[in-house]
Chains A and B, each alone.
Chain A
């Protein structure tokens, strides 16, 4: 079991939701309006005057075999709209209730 956190520009919301649906990932936690900035050229999303845009995040816990497919899709989404921006991070889940 792995946790995948996808952080994306909020304009990508519909696309991310579609992606999860297509991949048959049912469970996730949605964080609306999160701030952040990227390390490698990622424009800050701070909801301020200078950086008015905002991100959202989805955290989903999936089986190990689904991770690769999910990351692949995220990569595709990033290819489609590199300027809008989407990132995904995974870590291991030890236990769950």
Chain B
């Protein structure tokens, strides 16, 4: 028994099955985590190898090259890049998006194991890192304080972090800029020399007086006691009073005589300020698979609680919270879905004019959407931008099948049939064609699940969701819809009068709806039929006009009005400013500039809510250090702005204002103001990659590129990836002299380290925490080259010499980090577009920058960055479009059992492209990855209109109508269904296209593209398809009659009578 018949005969079962589906769906929905994008592992693996004492170029030859050669055979490798620094080599493999990372890591490990023997002997074991989403920070808070600032580290470590660690799903918590308590013993070099002491002696005294030792057991007649010497420092001031030595004159020398003891916070290397106040940044990462929104919300709640326990001057402020962005995006998409649903229902109500019918159709939408949640739950996915966008796309399509079924049933019922029987037989008539049209959609969306690369990650889920939703809607349309029709539709009411005549009930009375809407629609049908009649009569002119229209529509593309982008940047109310000062600038000087900038920024952009600044470097390798690379001469600021609906300027305008401000400072040699922040998705740049061996030549080329690129009107934030050479102080030891004095280079370097950076001399224990005690020279004895030459070094013989006696000192330029890509040295100049599109900028760079470069042999230039990703993605999408066109053609050809009909229908596709161009032009948008996807979707959506028309013309022809009559009749009859399906999809997309919510920049293009393409294509399909049908049919049909005659030739025989 057919599914629709069973459904109609067993209404209880049918309803309960769907209720069960809804319950499972709601359950899945509640369980679904919320995230920004579908779970995707960034396909990066880094192999880090240390080789103590090797310079950058040695590292490159001996380690990096060996590694690269071995690792190029890793499967799915896309790019191999590397960095060679002093002592460190980092080889990064970028694999294809969507590769299995566990397999890849194993692969990498085995290759690394194989090459281990080829590495230099003193190399450390190569370490393999996999970058995972869980290592990305999800939120950051700043803790500012005044009086309690020195104790902030302890408060955070002892009170805040342990509490936060209780939050479910929380990953690593790291602090940056927290003030470490240190006890410094700053020694005066001259006094040390005067007393004949060495720094090491002082250090040993400090260490030796700071211990707890067990010193045996004392046994008494009855008891036994452990004996301990307890002599650890309780107060740092105790150190001052230690005696170091006694002079030959008998004078005791205390530490206070030669040094000052400071119990303070660690010397400045990383300075962290929020709105100019001392601050500490707390960065939180989540565990893999944890729900970002939930983790962030919990942390926020926890911090609210903690705030109350903290000293009054400690303030907690949010620097960024990725969940806010996600939550807002998801909310605005959910809103779009809500409006889309409403619009679709209103369209159905408008065209059908009956509330019962509208309910029957409307009910398919939630059921189909809920099934999508079941899929998401089973696929371990989340409610994210992609999945919700997919649902918005699907909403307009899910009603189509139900409408076809309902219309046919209504037609039967209005003829006077019983709704029950009408439902069975009317569904029987259309169910095959309903499934066939769904197959067209499946042909569009299933290939999308096979996309590779970045687009694959993004659109895999979209493909599945729309496919599943559309299939569900078909199943609903041929089971639940007929069942509901059989129950809800009312048979035409008639009764018999006293004379036995049939009297139609007063239901025929014209309602408001009949008078206005139906009347208008009838008029429209009439006009359309007339226009169509004219077109069919003037086929050549019509086709020429349409062709001219199509060519004209392409003009904006050729005149460069439509740019291309990779992904729209989002206004997420957060700016990152990076400033580079002259190399070697002292941290204190950098800070002055930072304070100046902060002040000015606040002045020129009054709406800034918060500026978090870090400057200097954090020498501890923490996770957060991986994401913020600050050096002594660099400043990094995170600026928080009000949400975009609460301010007048866009984030890009503000960024531009800040850039102009920064351009005015002579000390700033490079600055960037980026809008993308963490996550790295919205990154938008054209990278000019310069390959070549010689540093001088490539640096010169890069500089030339920078100058040329900066002159381009739409270019901002031009940045060279290679740092300038770093000025270092090099100490060359005269080995002969040193060895005569019994010194080795190793000893000298240890002594130097002790004096300049300090000698670690134990810990001061306080309240369960340990603080370093560092013995070193006071600052004024070690802050110039002559001071360093004047350092006193003890010899094993007990003599004291000056460093200048055994060593020479010189300034020199340390070579920069050596970057390589594809096993060649590379320097990258990246350019960000402003008020222009990525594609335009790349074109400009290609036209104005690259030809002017004078490339020597062996040097090459290539465009990379987001531009390359964009090109890759667009290529993928073009391939996908071709695949989809072929599949759709196959499905339609088998549906019509004709090769000609699908070709006619395919003519609606070019006009969709015209519509896309117009829509983008009017909206002033560029075509990006999401928009391009919309174009691909359009192929499937617009052909549906053509199918409806051609199918009906075929029907009319089969019923024996003359060609032109058939065309006109079909046009008149199918206008409403075509308009209805088109309007449901168009109106379903409108909330998406005009949404102004957070993250809307990303999906707006999809809405714009689909609306533009579908509107123009629907309108023109109504003419081009019938006209082409006319052009292509006449000839064939005459032949058909002739060939039929030939087939049944027996009819021409003459029968002789009486034979």
Q: Interface on A for B, CB 8 Å cutoff? A: 10-15, 48-54, 79-81, 83-84
Instruction: Jot down 10 A-B pairs with beta carbons below 8 A, ordered by A.
Output: A11-B412, A11-B425, A12-B417, A14-B420, A49-B955, A50-B955, A50-B958, A50-B959, A53-B429, A84-B416
Across the interface, name the chain A residue whose C-beta is closest to B897.
A49
The A-contacting residues of B in range 178-223, CB under 8 angstroms, are: none
Across the interface, name the chain B residue whose C-beta is closest to A82.
B416
In the bound assembly, the distance between CA atoms of A13 and B420 in angstroms comes to 11
B422 within 8 A of partner (CB): yes
What are the residues of chain A within 8 A of B429 when measuring CB–CB?
52-53
Across the interface, name the chain B residue whose C-beta is closest to A79.
B502
Across the interface, name the chain A residue whose C-beta is closest to B956.
A50
Across the interface, name the chain A residue whose C-beta is closest to B418.
A14
Across the interface, name the chain B residue whose C-beta is closest to A46.
B958
CB distance from B473 to the nearest CB of A (A): 22
Q: Pick the contact of B421 from A13, A49, A79 — CB < 8 Å?
A: A13
In the bound assembly, the distance between CA atoms of A12 and B415 in angstroms comes to 12
B954 within 8 A of partner (CB): yes
Interface magnitude class on chain B? 10 to 19
CB distance from A68 to the nearest CB of B (A): 17
In the bound assembly, the distance between CA atoms of A50 and B425 in angstroms comes to 15
Given known contacts A11-B412, A12-B417, what 6 new A-B pairs fall within 8 Å (CB)?
A11-B417, A11-B418, A51-B959, A52-B428, A81-B416, A84-B415
Across the interface, name the chain B residue whose C-beta is closest to A85.
B415
Q: 1/0 contact trace for B482-511 toward A, CB 8 Å?
A: 000000000000100000001000000000
The A-contacting residues of B in range 376-420, CB under 8 angstroms, are: 412, 415-418, 420
What are the residues of chain A within 8 A of B430 when measuring CB–CB?
52
What are the residues of chain B within 8 A of A79 when measuring CB–CB?
502
What are the residues of chain B within 8 A of A83 when measuring CB–CB?
415-416
Across the interface, name the chain B residue whose C-beta is closest to A52.
B429
The A-contacting residues of B in range 955-975, CB under 8 angstroms, are: 955, 958-959
Q: Pick the contact of B417 from A48, A51, A84 — CB < 8 Å?
A: A84
CB distance from A76 to the nearest CB of B (A): 9
CB distance from A13 to the nearest CB of B (A): 7
What are the residues of chain B within 8 A of A81 when measuring CB–CB?
415-417
Task: Check B955 against A80 for contact (C-beta < 8 Å).
Answer: no
Q: Pick the contact of B425 from A10, A48, A51, A80 — CB < 8 Å?
A: A10
CB distance from B9 to the nearest CB of A (A): 13
4 cross-chain pairs, A with B, having the tightest CB-CB distances, nearest first? A50-B958, A52-B429, A81-B416, A11-B417
Across the interface, name the chain A residue whose C-beta is closest to B426.
A11
Across the interface, name the chain A residue whose C-beta is closest to B408.
A52
What are the residues of chain A within 8 A of B416 when measuring CB–CB?
80-81, 83-84
In the bound assembly, the distance between CA atoms of A84 and B422 in angstroms comes to 11
Across the interface, name the chain B residue whose C-beta is closest to A43.
B959
Task: Check B415 against A53 for contact (C-beta < 8 Å).
Answer: no
CB distance from B200 to the nearest CB of A (A): 100
CB distance from B989 to the nearest CB of A (A): 32
In the bound assembly, the distance between CA atoms of A24 and B152 in angstroms comes to 100
CB distance from B361 to the nearest CB of A (A): 22
Q: Which of B412, B417, B954, B958 has the most CB of A within 10 A?
A: B417
Task: Check A80 against B502 for contact (C-beta < 8 Å).
Answer: yes
In the bound assembly, the distance between CA atoms of A10 and B429 in angstroms comes to 12
CB distance from B858 to the nearest CB of A (A): 69
What are the residues of chain B within 8 A of A52 when measuring CB–CB?
428-430
In the bound assembly, the distance between CA atoms of A52 and B408 in angstroms comes to 11
In the bound assembly, the distance between CA atoms of A63 and B785 in angstroms comes to 132
In the bound assembly, the distance between CA atoms of A5 and B502 in angstroms comes to 26
CB distance from B408 to the nearest CB of A (A): 9
Across the interface, name the chain A residue whose C-beta is closest to B959.
A50
What are the residues of chain B within 8 A of A15 when measuring CB–CB?
418
What are the residues of chain A within 8 A of B417 when measuring CB–CB?
11-12, 81, 84
Task: Check B421 against A14 for contact (C-beta < 8 Å).
Answer: yes
In the bound assembly, the distance between CA atoms of A11 and B242 in angstroms comes to 111
Across the interface, name the chain A residue whose C-beta is closest to B420.
A14
Q: Which of A51, A52, A54 has the most CB of B within 10 A?
A: A52
In the bound assembly, the distance between CA atoms of A4 and B418 in angstroms comes to 25
What are the residues of chain A within 8 A of B425 when measuring CB–CB?
10-11, 53-54
What are the residues of chain A within 8 A of B412 when measuring CB–CB?
11
Across the interface, name the chain B residue whose C-beta is closest to A51.
B959
CB distance from B729 to the nearest CB of A (A): 90
Q: 1/0 contact trace for B418-445 toward A, CB 8 Å?
A: 1011100100111000000000000000
CB distance from B463 to the nearest CB of A (A): 31
What are the residues of chain B within 8 A of A10 when measuring CB–CB?
421, 425
CB distance from B426 to the nearest CB of A (A): 8
In the bound assembly, the distance between CA atoms of A30 and B416 in angstroms comes to 23
In the bound assembly, the distance between CA atoms of A13 and B430 in angstroms comes to 20
CB distance from A43 to the nearest CB of B (A): 9
In the bound assembly, the distance between CA atoms of A81 and B421 in angstroms comes to 14
Across the interface, name the chain A residue whose C-beta is closest to B954.
A49
What are the residues of chain A within 8 A of B420 when measuring CB–CB?
14
In the bound assembly, the distance between CA atoms of A25 and B407 in angstroms comes to 37
In the bound assembly, the distance between CA atoms of A80 and B496 in angstroms comes to 10
Q: Which of A11, A12, A54 has the most CB of B within 10 A?
A: A11
Q: Pick the contact of B422 from A11, A48, A80 — CB < 8 Å?
A: A11
What are the residues of chain A within 8 A of B422 when measuring CB–CB?
11
Across the interface, name the chain A residue whose C-beta is closest to B429.
A52
In the bound assembly, the distance between CA atoms of A84 and B421 in angstroms comes to 12
What are the residues of chain B within 8 A of A14 when measuring CB–CB?
418, 420-421
CB distance from B504 to the nearest CB of A (A): 11
Across the interface, name the chain A residue whose C-beta is closest to B955.
A50
In the bound assembly, the distance between CA atoms of A57 and B248 in angstroms comes to 135
In the bound assembly, the distance between CA atoms of A13 and B502 in angstroms comes to 21
CB distance from A59 to the nearest CB of B (A): 21
The A-contacting residues of B in range 219-250, CB under 8 angstroms, are: none
What are the residues of chain B within 8 A of A48 when measuring CB–CB?
958
In the bound assembly, the distance between CA atoms of A52 and B418 in angstroms comes to 18
In the bound assembly, the distance between CA atoms of A11 and B416 in angstroms comes to 10
CB distance from A71 to the nearest CB of B (A): 16
In the bound assembly, the distance between CA atoms of A48 and B958 in angstroms comes to 10
CB distance from A82 to the nearest CB of B (A): 8
What are the residues of chain B within 8 A of A84 when measuring CB–CB?
415-417
Task: Check B959 against A80 for contact (C-beta < 8 Å).
Answer: no
CB distance from B605 to the nearest CB of A (A): 67
In the bound assembly, the distance between CA atoms of A70 and B634 in angstroms comes to 102
Across the interface, name the chain B residue whose C-beta is closest to A13.
B421
CB distance from A41 to the nearest CB of B (A): 13
What are the residues of chain A within 8 A of B955 when measuring CB–CB?
49-50
In the bound assembly, the distance between CA atoms of A84 and B412 in angstroms comes to 9
In the bound assembly, the distance between CA atoms of A91 and B416 in angstroms comes to 30
CB distance from B535 to the nearest CB of A (A): 25
CB distance from B109 to the nearest CB of A (A): 62
In the bound assembly, the distance between CA atoms of A91 and B429 in angstroms comes to 33
In the bound assembly, the distance between CA atoms of A12 and B430 in angstroms comes to 19
In the bound assembly, the distance between CA atoms of A79 and B500 in angstroms comes to 11
What are the residues of chain B within 8 A of A54 when measuring CB–CB?
425
What are the residues of chain A within 8 A of B958 when measuring CB–CB?
48-50
What are the residues of chain B within 8 A of A53 when measuring CB–CB?
425, 429
In the bound assembly, the distance between CA atoms of A30 and B418 in angstroms comes to 20
In the bound assembly, the distance between CA atoms of A14 and B423 in angstroms comes to 13
Task: Check B418 against A80 for contact (C-beta < 8 Å).
Answer: no
Across the interface, name the chain B residue whose C-beta is closest to A50.
B958
CB distance from B420 to the nearest CB of A (A): 8
CB distance from A10 to the nearest CB of B (A): 6
